Structure 1
C-alpha cells in the first residue's frame, strides 16, 4: 500500500501471569491473558487470550495477543482452520506499506471476517483463507496498527530488523503456545511491500533453523507474495507496459501516444540511476534515482491519483478516498477504534491511543533506513537455494506493483531454474471451470540434499488489481489452496 508515498519519500527523502499450559487444552474463553515466556530468549514472551465471534464473525476458534520483546510489542490475531486445525498448515499474512496494518488484509480481503458495509461490525467471509489453513495476521514492524514500542524506543527502520523479531516470535508460537503447529507446514503470505518483508523473514527463518539446530524448528515450506514490491527499478519499468499497452487486459491503453512517448524517453535515465542505487545504496544516490523516476515516469499517473481521480491499485476503477482509494479501508479504521473493540482486544491505551491502518513513522523510518531502495533478489535466491517454494501472484490491473515489472524481475532472479523459467511461455489457467489468468512454473531439483523439487511460479489473475483476494475472492482462495497443497496450475 501507499506506493505514491514511497516514491515521494524516495525523492525527498502489566497483564496477569498464568501457568504455561498449551492453549489447545483450554476449553473456555479467557477474560485475562495467559503469558508464555520463551525458553530461548528471556526478552521474548507472548501474552494471548481467546476471543469469541463478537468482534470478528469468524466461525472458528480465534485468539489475539502480543509478542513482547523488551520494549517492543507485536500484535497478532490467530484463527484456527475451519477444517481439522491440528492437521492443517499454518499461514502467516503480512500487509505491506511499509507501515500497513495486517488488519487490512484480514478485514478487507482474506480474513475469516470482513468489515460490513456500515463499518460497525463484521460479516463472515466464505472465501476466508482459513478454510483449510490455520491463519495468523501480524501487525509488524512494531509501531504498525495495534503493535507499539514503549516511549523512547525507536521503531524499526528496515525489513531485516523486523524479520529478526518475527523469527523468534514464530519459534515461540509454534513450540510453546500451539505445539500442535510445530510439525505443520508453514507458509508466509502477503502483498505489496510484503515483497520486501516476506523474503527477509523467510531468509531469517531459514538461517535461524540452520544456525540453531537444537532449537524448535519453524517448518517453512513456501512463500506466496501478491503484487509485491521487490524492486522499485522493475516497478518503474513496468509503468510503460501497464499504461501504454493492452497487456493488463484492457481494451485500450490508459495513456495516449504523447504521454507514452514521454515515458519511453524518460525510462532509460530512471533505469540507469536505479541500477547505480542498487550497486551503491547511498542515500543521496538513491534519493536522486527516486526523484528522476518520479518526475520522469511515475508522476504522470500517480499525481492524478486520489479521491475522484485515478486509482493506482486498479487502472480501470475510480478512487473513492485519498491514498488507499477504497472506502472500506476507512471503515476498518473506524471500526477498530470503537471502544468495545479496544476493550475486547485489551489494547493498552497508554501506548496505543488510536488504531491507524498505516504508520507514517514506519514509512519515514524505512525511507531513512534505505530499505525501500533495496532489491529483494538475494533473499529470494537464498530461499530457492534452500528448497523453499516461491509463488508470485499478480492482479493484472495494478499499477503500483505492476505485473510487467514483476515478470521482468522474476525472470532476472539468478538461480538454477532461471534459464528454464525464462524460456517458458505463459499458459492460461482455470478456476471454477473458467479461464482466470496466466501462469508459468518450474520444478527444479536444487541438489542431492534436497529430495523435493523446488517450485517457482508466477500466476496472474484477470480483472483484478493490487488486492487479488478483494477483487477475485473465490479465485484467490483457489490459488492459495492449490499452492499450499502442492497442486499445479495446469
Structure 2
C-alpha cells in the first residue's frame, strides 16, 4: 500500500510537470476584492530568437480541462491585449484609481480558457532583446504563431483542444494572417475552429471611403459640404468613390478633412459616448486615432481642454494598476523592463503595413471551412460597420435566409427580458456578420452582456439569440 501511495504521488507530480508551468501561476494578484474560482498564469512566450511576448491566461471557471482555448488580440497596431483583459472581456476589472480589482460577471472565461497575448514585441510588457521594434504584418503573424507553439510546449494540455482566435480593430489584420499559418499546421492545431473579428480593419482604404457617408447619415456633415465632395471629387457618386485617394488630391483634401472633422468634439469610437479623451496621450483611443491620421498624412489632433476633458472618471486605471511594483511582481514581469503603456508609439512609428485588405486570407479561411464571425458596434466611426459589410459583399458569398430582409435582428436575453441586440446577415461558407446596437469600437466594453452571449453562441454553434446556459 505504501509503495502504491508513493507511486501515485510520483505519477501525479509528473503529470503536473507536463501541465501548466507553476512558475507562471499568479498566486496573489494585488487589489483583488473577490476569490477567483479559476487559475490564471502570466509569463513569456518566445516568438523569435530575440522576441518575447507577454501572455496572461485566464482559465475557464466552468470546465478548464474541457472548454476551448480562445486567443484574444488587440490591435493598434501597437496596443496591448491587456486592455482587452482589464477593460473589456477579462474577469479582472480595475477601479478605485488602480487600487482594487472587481469581478467582471460578463467575462468570456466563464466558458472558455482565454489567452491574452501582447503583440508585437515592444507592446505592453513584451520586449525584444535587441531593441529593434520595426515589424511588418507578416512578421507579426509569424511571431504570434511561434509564440503559440511555445504556449503549447508550456501548456501541453491544450494541444488538440478546440481553438478560436478573436480580437478587434487592427487585429482584423493580425487574425486572418495568423489563421492562415494555423490552418497550415494541422499537427499542432488539429481543432482550429474559427475566428471572430470585432470592428476589424479588414479593408483599410475602404474604411476612409465609407467614413464620409457614415458621418453624413449620422448628421455630422452639412449638405453643402457633402454635395461639394460628391460633385467635385466623386463624380456625383460618393457610394463608389475612392475617398482614400482624395487625401492626396490637393483639390479635395481640405474638403474631406473638413467632413471628417465632424467628430472633433465627439468620441470617434462611439458617437454617443459621453467619455471624451485627450488625443495627445498613449491611451488606446488617442493612439489609434493618431495612427489613422498618420496614414493619410494628417498631424495629430491637438488637445482642446474645453471639449476633451474626460466626463467619466479614472480613464487611466489600467495604466496605473499595471505599473504598480507589486502587480508587476505578481505577474512575473522583469523589473528591468520599462513602464507598461496601453499603446507603444515606438511600435506604431516603426510598423510596416503590408495587408491593406485581407481578402486572400478570408478566401483561404472560407475554403478551409472554419467558422468566421465579423461583428461591428454600429456607432463606431474608427472602423465602421459599412466598411465591413462591403468587405464581405466583395467576397461574392451567397446570402442565406430570407432574401427580402435587409438584415435580421438578433436578441439579447437576460433577467430583465429580451431586447434587440443588433442585426445579422449569414453567408454561405460559415461566415456571419453581426452588428451590435448602440456599441462603439470596443464591443465587449460597451455592450458586455450582448458580446458575451454573442461569442458563447458563436463558439457553441447556437443561434445568436439563444440565452446563455452555463
When normalised by structure 2's length, the TM-score is 0.79
Assess, with a 3 A threshold, how the Cα gap between structure 1 residues 391 and 178 changes in structure 2: closer, same or farther.
same
Match of 1:254 among 220, 223, 226: 220
Alignment of 1:25-424 (within 5 A): 30=22, 33=23, 48-54=24-30, 58-68=36-46, 69-151=48-130, 153-174=131-152, 176-209=153-186, 215-217=187-189, 219-246=191-218, 253-265=219-231, 268=234, 288=248, 295-297=254-256, 300-302=259-261, 305=264, 309-323=265-279, 324=285, 329-350=315-336, 352-366=337-351, 369-371=352-354, 374-414=356-396, 417-418=397-398
1:468 has 2:439 as partner: no
Alpha-carbon distance, 1:341 to partner: 1.1
| 1:159–1:235 distance in 2 versus 1, CA, 3 Å | same
Distance 1:299 1:189 in 2: 35
Once the two structures are TM-superposed, the CA of residue 339 in structure 1 deviates from its matched residue by 1.1
Cα-to-partner distance string for 1:449-483 (whole Å, 9 max, x where unaligned): xxxxx410000111111111111110010001010
User: Displacement, 1:191?
Assistant: 0.6
SS in 2 for 1:341: helix
1:314–1:465 Cα contact (<8 Å) kept: yes
Deviations, residues 57-104 of structure 1 (Å, cap 9, x unaligned): 654210000012321110000011010111101111101100010011
Q: Report the CA distance shift for 1:292/1:117 in structure 2 as closer, same or farther (over 3 A).
A: farther
Supply the RMSD in Å over aligned alpha carbons.
3.0
Normalised to the residue count of structure 1, the TM-score between the two structures is 0.76
CA 1:299–1:137 in 2, change beyond 3 Å: closer, same or farther? farther
Write the distance in 1 (CA, Å) between the matches of 2:203 and 2:252.
Answer: 13
**1:7 alignment counterpart:** none
Distance in 2 (CA, whole Å) between partners of 1:272 and 1:238 is 9
Change over 3 Å in CA distance of 1:329–1:60 after alignment to 2 = farther
Give CA deviations for 1:250-293 in whole Å, capped at 9, x if unaligned.
xxx233323333453576499776898xxxxxxxxx9948x999
Structure 2 counterpart SS, 1:228: coil
In structure 1, the residue matched to 2:411 is 430
Unpaired segments of 5 or more residues in structure 1?
A: 1-18, 34-47, 210-214, 247-252, 277-285, 445-453
Unaligned regions of 5+ residues in structure 2, if any?
1-12, 280-284, 287-309, 466-470
Aligned length: 412
1:394-449 CA-to-partner distances (Å, cap 9, x unmatched) read 110100000112111111125xx34669967311111112111100113x4xxxxx
Note closer, same or farther for the CA distance 1:299–1:133 as it changes in structure 2 (3 Å cut).
Answer: farther
Larger Rg: 2
Partners of 1:241 and 1:404 within 8 A in 2? no
On the 8 A contact 2:377/2:435 being kept in 1, the answer is yes
8 A contact 1:156–1:162 mirrored in 2: no
Indicate if the aligned counterparts of 2:209 and 2:241 stay in contact, CA closer than 8 A: no
